[in-house]
Amino acid sequence: MMPVSVEIRRGTGRSVEREMGRLSRHSFSFGATYDPDNLRFGPMVCHDDHLLGPGRGFDTHRHSNLVIVTHVVSGELVHTGPTGSAVLGAGRVAVLRTGDGTEHSEVAGERPTRFVQTWLTDEDGRGADVASYDVLDAPVDGAAVELPGARLTVVRLADGETGTLPAAPLLHVYVVRGALLRSSLAEPLQEGDAFRFTDEPAHEVTAGVDTELLVWAFA
């Protein structure tokens, strides 16, 4: 069966996990919510939108053979891992390469904190052999976070502004904030909705209000 070239994943279709002081919305099959038809998109195996209460989050846990990319939307996230502790404010992007295995924790600071986190598989050894952690300013004006076989761009569009989504073998576009107007691709997209494109050309989208998109392109 040929893959669908344009797929719309609505935020209302995400599985929701609630714990004391935490609300997580999972885009892919995760934990107790198993969906054999929604396990991954290229190397992307997890795309979560988390909201944490002050001082709440994820205590120390272990990962291996992943590249974990975290984009802080609001508040601040305290990360403790292979290089010590770091505080990520809104607009920062962090890249954790787990290598063969590392432990880390992620806890909100003194304010409610929202962050979007993506896990990419590192099955072919193109990532670091040992764990590392880098904190970057969220890329703007066409700059990007470059990873082996993957590129993340944060796109910000003002109300009524039109932007171009690049052509790529696989493209994942997530509406972090705001909304996109109706287009030839879909009815309006709201916060929490996503595009998944397979072998699509470049497409133009127009913001209905001030909008922020996370655009993942995979080779």
CATH code (residue 180): 2.60.120.10
Would you say residue 1 lies in a domain? no
Domain membership of residue 113 (yes or no) is: yes
The model's pLDDT over 98-137, given as tens digits with 9 standing for 90+, comes to 988 999 999 999 999 999 999 999 865 555 566 888 877 6
**Among 34-38, 50-54, 158-162, the least confident range:** 34-38
Mean pLDDT for the chain? Answer: 90
Q: For residue 34, tell me if it sits in a domain.
A: yes
Considering the domain boundaries, does residue 88 fall inside one? yes
Instruction: Please list, in sequence order, all residues whose beta carbon lies within 8 angstroms of the beta carbon of residue 54, skipping any fewer than 6 positions away.
Output: 108, 109, 110, 111, 112, 113
Asked if residue 107 belongs to a domain, the reply is: yes
Let me know if residue 63 belongs to a domain: yes
Given this model, what pLDDT does residue 144 score? 80
pLDDT the model gives residue 170: 97
Number of domains in the chain: 1
Identify the pLDDT of residue 128.
56
Residue 136's pLDDT is what? 73
What residue has token string 């996230």? 77
Query: Taking residues 158-186, what's their average pLDDT?
Result: 96
Residue 138's domain comprises 6-218
Closest CA to 216 of 103, 106, 77, 117: 117
